[in-house]
Amino acid sequence: GSLPDPGLVRRLLDEAHRRFAPVQDGAVANYIPALAAADPDRFGLAIVSATGERYAVGDARHPFTIQSVSKPFVFALVANALGHEEVKQLLGVNNSGLPFDSVIAVELNPGRTANPMVNAGAIATTSLVPGADAAAKWEFVRAGLSRFAGRELAMDDEVYESESRTNDRNEGIARLLKGYGRIYSDPLEATDVYTRQCSLLVTTEDLAVMSATLADGGVNPITRERVIDADSCKRTLAVLATAGMYERSGEWLYEVGLPAKSGVGGGIITVIPGKGGLASYSPLLDDAGNSVRGTLATAFLSTTLGLNVFASA
Ligand code: GLN
């Protein structure tokens, strides 16, 4: 399959932007002090098809930190390096139904794992990144996410330092996991690399390319580079579908019918398997940490472009 006619995609993307730009519901994240400075009016949308066509509207070139939208890409790289059986055993792949920073998610899981889309499982995922030392591990992550984006990504040092200074909860989660043998390197080192990965600067257009790479079986449709193998890509979409929108993952799948991942920077990626990637940016978040305008625009586009993977026609 492929996306509908380019003229229709362009028209509906513009329409989604016009329709939801006036929405003022939600609030910018402020538990990471530097994120509280985000401009609540920013709103960008972008689509990249699996054949490399690009569409964008609004603030699609405005840089912001990727935050939890990094999680599926790091998981994909680690699954690609270790194999899907190994990562399932070590990280867990079930939805917790709990907020992204939950500690209970670990305690309630019989294997004391979480899943790679919430902080506990994401820090555990980062602890499996190959590399001789922290610098090599960080470079593996930065270079890997850059291949998904098709350009060299760099960190927002201010956001990184801000989160590092207030990172007690993630450090606590990492130490708890270490106590259960569920962190596979030094817990504070893993948390630091994870915090760096969350601080990478991207644009909505970058996220659409990254998302399209997951839609294209691991091949970047702009650079044509194979970033991960098709099996790791398929497994990543499965964990995205079940847990990418945290405790709203069920509602999201019910309304939108596509695997997606949000971040508290305001970004969301939505993967349209075999067809392309959709991305949105708007920093006003709901109480689960998902972008409000992004959620509305994605639901609108999934419906009007007929993208729901559960639809028979
Ligand atoms: N860096 C953030 C954290 O660990 C990411 C959370 C998110 O985007 N949901 O708290």
Residue pLDDT, tens place only, 26-72: 999 999 999 999 999 999 999 999 999 999 999 999 999 999 999 99
What is the assigned CATH class of domain 6-67+202-305?
Answer: alpha beta
Looking at residue 235, what is its pLDDT? 98
Q: Render pLDDT for 275-304 as a digit per residue (tens, 0 to 9).
A: 999 999 999 999 999 999 999 999 999 999
Dist CA 129 CA 145 (whole Å):
13
Q: How far apart are CA 68 and CA 52, in angstroms?
A: 25
pLDDT at 96: 87
Per the DSSP assignment, residues forming a β-bridge with 272 are 276
pLDDT band at 110 (very low <50, low <70, confident <90, very high): confident
Name the percent of the chain lying above pLDDT 90. Answer: 96
pLDDT of residue 306: 97
Judge if the beta carbon of residue 20 lies within 6 A of ligand 1.
no
**Is ligand 1 within 6 A of the CB of residue 266?**
no
Question: CA-CA distance, 140 to 118, in Å (whole number)?
Answer: 21
CA distances from 269 to 58, 71, 187, 202, 240 (A): 16, 11, 28, 12, 10
Q: Does 17 have pLDDT greater than 90?
A: yes
CA of 194 to the centre of ligand 1 (A): 9
Beta carbon of 263 within 6 Å of any ligand 1 atom: yes
The pLDDT value recorded for residue 92 is: 95
Please give the share of the chain, as a percent, with pLDDT higher than 70.
Answer: 100
135: number of Cβ within 10 Å: 10
Q: State the span(s) of the chain assigned CATH 3.40.710.10.
A: 6-67+202-305, 69-198
Give CA 113 to chain center in angstroms: 20
Over residues 255-271, the mean pLDDT reads 98
- Residue 7 burial (10 A CB sphere; 0-12, 13-18, 19+): exposed
pLDDT tens-place string over residues 155-175 = 999 999 999 999 999 999 999
Cβ of 264 closer than 6 Å to ligand 1, yes or no, is: yes
- Ligand 1 mutation target, pool 28, 65, 67, most atoms within 8 A of CB: 67
Q: Report the pLDDT averaged over residues 78-96.
A: 96
Q: Which residue's alpha carbon is at the smallest distance from atom 4 of ligand 1?
A: 119
Distance 203 CA to ligand 1 centre (A): 17
- Which pLDDT score, from 0 to 100, does residue 260 have? 98
Q: Is the CB of 198 under 6 A from ligand 1?
A: yes
C-alpha triplet 117, 121, 122: angle, nearest 5°: 65
Residue 184 annotated as lining a ligand binding site: no
C-alpha of residue 119 to centroid of ligand 1, in Å: 7
Average model confidence (pLDDT) across the chain: 97
The whole-number average pLDDT for the span 127-139 is 98
Q: What is the pLDDT of residue 278?
A: 98
From residue 17, alpha-carbon distances to 20, 41, 44, 186, 265 in Å are 6, 12, 8, 44, 19
Please count the other Cβ atoms lying within 10 Å of the Cβ belonging to residue 93. 20
Could you please state the CATH topology (level 3) that the domain comprising 69-198 is classified under. Beta-lactamase (3.40.710)
Ligand 1, atom nearest to 195 Cα: 1
